[in-house]
Structure 1
Amino acid sequence: MELGLEGLSVVTDGRSLVRDLSLTVGTGQVVGLVGPNGSGKSTALRCVYRALRPSTGTVRVGGEDLSRLTARRSARLVAAMVQDGAVDVDFTVEEAVALGRAPHLRGNRALGRRERDLCARAMDRLGIRHLARRGVLTLSGGERQRVLLARALVQEPAILVLDEPTNHLDVHHQVELLSLLRDSGLTVLIVLHDLNLAAAACDRLGVLHDGRLVTAGTPEAVLTTDLVHEVFGVRAAVVSHPLTGDPQLLYSLAPSP
């Protein structure tokens, strides 16, 4: 299912956080939002999972205006894994993962066999099945991240949005998570700070700066030395990964001339 952001702007307390953002995520594509802190990436995502209403513009899912859908319908189409999505109640891991089925259940109906199987498969995919009876609050930050992604997956969305999902994860689990997203078949919009991971995981990148979309395109087209210097204020050489050919950045710690 295609995701479209059309002329999206967000103004809060007289300050423009996102300015006239238009971006399309094709069905089954993984598109990354990158940019410095405060560039509007997380704000744009909040409009997609309806935590924030845009001041102007439209979010479309499968061509439908997201704001016209019921909360239940939109929750069945779009799942989110966000920075502030921690579970504050000490549910067990299996209970926390099962919360992803809420948009599909009526009232307090118990999980059926299919729902239980979905939860078990999601925990297996994220390597957390052995933690099923553990309390979420006893887990490490990285383990909690995987619980949150499992919860999003059992929601069975068509579109998945993620805000810095590799936070707290070690290198192995970062690569594993991003590989899972690439192979999921879902339409994915993801915010990443690590440009090298973004280049490896994403079909396309959108670069934000001061709330505006600077450019969008393939990682090869977007990640140039000039753009990295202009937007991020750092010097870097761009090389091809020897195994995959993906563009990778080698940063210089020397001050700019």
Structure 2
Amino acid sequence: MRLSLDGLTVALDGTTLVHSLDLDVADGSVVGLIGPNGSGKSTALRCVYRALRPSGGTVRVGGDDLADLRPREGARRVAALTQENGSDLDFTVAEIVALGRVPHQRGNGPLTARERELCEHAMDSMDVAHLAHRGVLTLSGGERQRVLMARALVQEPRVLVLDEPTNHLDVRHQIHLLSLLRGLGVTTLVVLHDLNLAAAACDRIGVLEEGRLVATGPPAEVLTPELIRDVFGVEATVVAHPLTGDPQLLYRLTHEKGTP
């Protein structure tokens, strides 16, 4: 299912955070959003999972204006893994994952056999099945992140919106998660700070700077030393991965005066 941001603008408290953003995510593709802190990445994503109402422009999911869809229908199409995912309720892991079925249920009936199987498969795929009966508040940050990803998968969305999904994950689970995304065939818009992971996982990359899209295209075309210097303010050498050919960035560390 295609996701389109058409002239998306977000202004809060007199400040425009996102300026007329045009971005298409083709059916089944993975598109990454990268950019410095405060560049508008998370703000744009919040409009896609309806935590924010755009000041202008449109979010279209499958050609339909997201604002015209009822909340239940919107939740059936779009699942989100956000940065604001804390919970004060000590549900078990299995209970948290099962919440992904809420948009598909009527009333408070028990899960069907298929839904229970779906939950088990999602927990297996995110390596949290062994935690099923643990309280979510007893988990590490990385474990909790994987549980919430399993919940998103159980939702069976047509579009996934992921805001820094590798946050808190060790390197094995980072690679596993992004490899999973590549194989799902689900339209995915993902914010990533690790540019090398973005280059490996994404079909296309959009670069935001001060709320404006300054570049978009395949990783090999977008991730140039000039762009990295101009947008992020760091020097990098770009090389091809010896096995995949994906661009990989080698950063040069500098010792600034006055720092220990």
Task: Give how far 1:255 is off.
Answer: 7.0
SS of the residue 2:189 aligns to: strand
Q: Does residue 106 of structure 2 align to residue 82 of structure 1?
A: no
Partner of residue 32, structure 1: 32
Task: Give how far 1:254 is off.
Answer: 3.1
Partner of residue 222, structure 2: 222
Q: Distance in 1 between matches of 2:84 and 2:52?
A: 14
Partner of residue 97, structure 2: 97
Task: Give how far 1:87 is off.
Answer: 3.0
* 8 Å contact from structure 1 (residues 3, 59) kept in 2: yes
Q: Distance in 2 between matches of 1:240 and 1:17?
A: 34
* 8 Å contact from structure 1 (residues 240, 246) kept in 2: yes
SS of the residue 1:182 aligns to: helix
- Counterpart code for 1:33: L
- Alignment RMSD: 0.9
- 1:1-257 correspondence to structure 2 within 5 Å: 1-254=1-254
* 8 Å contact from structure 1 (residues 28, 186) kept in 2: yes
Q: Distance in 2 between matches of 1:86 and 1:63?
A: 32
Q: Distance in 2 between matches of 1:142 and 1:255?
A: 31
Q: After the TM superposition, which segments of 4 or more aligned residues of structure 1 sit over 4 Å from their partners? A: none
Size of the alignment, in residue pairs?
Answer: 256
Q: Distance in 1 between matches of 2:233 and 2:18?
A: 21
SS of the residue 2:95 aligns to: helix
SS of the residue 1:5 aligns to: strand
- Counterpart code for 2:70: T
CA deviation profile, 1:202-227 (whole Å, cap 9, x unmatched): 00000000000001000000000000
Task: Give how far 1:253 is off.
Answer: 1.4
Unaligned runs of 5+ in 1: none
- Counterpart code for 1:30: V
TM-score (norm 2): 0.97
Q: Distance in 1 between matches of 2:87 and 2:175?
A: 24
TM-score (norm 1): 0.98
Deviating more after overlay: 153-162 vs 247-256: 247-256
Task: Give how far 1:151 is off.
Answer: 0.2
* 8 Å contact from structure 1 (residues 27, 186) kept in 2: yes
- Counterpart code for 1:241: H
SS of the residue 1:189 aligns to: strand
Q: Distance in 2 between matches of 1:3 and 1:89?
A: 33
Identity %: 69
